[in-house]
Amino acid sequence: MRKLLLATRNRGKVREIKGLLDGLPVEVLSLEDYPEIPPVEEDLPTFAGNALKKAETAARASGEIALADDSGLEVEALNGQPGVYSARFAGPGADDEANNRLLLEKLNAVPPERRGAVFRCAIALVLPGGETHLVEDSCPGRIAPSPRGSGGFGYDPLFIYEPAGLTYAEMDQEAKSKISHRGKALRRARMLLEDLLSKSGG
C-alpha cells in the first residue's frame, strides 16, 4: 500500500485529517513516525506558502507522498491577526490557553458585531517526484466573549460557528469537520489524492 505522510506532529490535526482520509488506499503516517525529519520553520507570509514548504520538505526527506496543512485564524478587528502567527500568537512556544487569553484581551473592548473572524486552511500535496498541488478553503465565524466547550484544540473554544450557534469546541468532530475550514479543504484534497493515486496505479 502507498504511504501518505502527514507533515505535522500536532496530534489534534493528525486525528482530524486521518478521520477525513479514512477508506483511501494509503497507509497514513505522520512526522511522529519520522523523528529524524527536522521541524520546518513556518516563516512565510501566507498559509499556502507554509503548507507548500512543509509538504515539500516532508516529501523530499521521506520519498513518500506528503500532505501538509497550514491554517489559522484571521480576526477582522485585529486586521487579520493572528493569521500565519496563530500557533505562536502569545510568543514562541505559546500554548493554546495563552493564545486564547491574549486574543480575548485584545478584543476586550470590541462589541459582538465587530468580532467577526475567519478560519483559513491551505493544504499542499506533494508527490515524491516534486509535483505539487494546493487547495484552500475557509469558514467565517465570530469570537466569543469567553471560552465555551471542551472539544477540539487551539482557538476552538472561542470560535463561534454562527449557523449552529456553537463554538467549534462545542461541536463533535464529525459536525465540525462538515463545516470547518480544514474539513472543507481536506475533502477537496481527498478527491485530488484519489485522482493522483488512481493515475499512479494505486
Task: Give me the least distance between CB of 1 and ligand IMP, in Å please.
Answer: 27
Stretch that binds ligand IMP, among 23-31, 63-71, 106-114, 187-195 (CB under 6 A): 63-71
86: which 3 cell numbers? 496563530
The residue among 93, 125, 109 whose CA lies nearest residue 26 is 125
141 binds ligand IMP (CB under 6 A): no
Active site residue 70: yes
72 binds ligand IMP (CB under 6 A): yes
The site for ligand IMP, by CB under 6 A, has a size of 18
**What 3-state class would DSSP assign to 66?**
strand
Strand partners, 88: none
Site for ligand IMP in 83-122 (CB under 6 A): 86-87, 99
The residue among 106, 175, 180, 173 whose CA lies nearest residue 145 is 106
**What 3-state class would DSSP assign to 5?**
strand
Cα 89 to Cα 77: distance, rounded to the nearest angstrom: 15
153 binds ligand IMP (CB under 6 A): yes
Active site amino acids: 70
Question: Interface with ligand IMP by CB under 6 A: which residues?
Answer: 10, 42, 69-73, 86-87, 99, 152-156, 168, 180, 182
